[in-house]
Amino acid sequence: MKKRLSEVTAGKCAVITEFENDDIFLKLMEMGCIPGETVKIDQIAPLGDPISITVSGYHLSLRLDEAEMIWVEEKTVHI
């Protein structure tokens, strides 16, 4: 089931399927967020912004508005 990365809870893993628009696509690709890549939600700030994820073997902090533009499919695998 597809959902936005911002909707995935801490501790869960998901696979990036697509981006909502091309404006942020290049920025996210440079950070390792590419379709097919598995991400793990490490932490979510108390007010929900930002979120900390692990992608491509490193930690990355994303603002909530960036995470809302990433469509993922939640998985049961762990990285």
Q: How many domains does the chain have?
A: 1
Q: What is the mean pLDDT of the chain?
A: 88
Of residues 32 and 16, which shows the higher confidence score?
16
Say yes or no to pLDDT of 77 above 80.
no
pLDDT confidence bin for 73, thresholds 50/70/90: very high
What is the domain extent for residue 9? 2-75
In angstroms, the CA 37 to CA 56 distance is 7
Tens-place pLDDT, residues 22-59: 777 888 888 888 899 999 999 999 988 999 999 988 89
| Rounded distance between C-alpha atoms, residue 77 and residue 79, angstroms | 7
Supply the pTM of this predicted model.
0.84
CATH number for the domain spanning 24: value is 2.30.30.90
CA 10-28-6 angle, 5° bins:
30
The whole-angstrom separation of Cα 22 and Cα 26 is 7
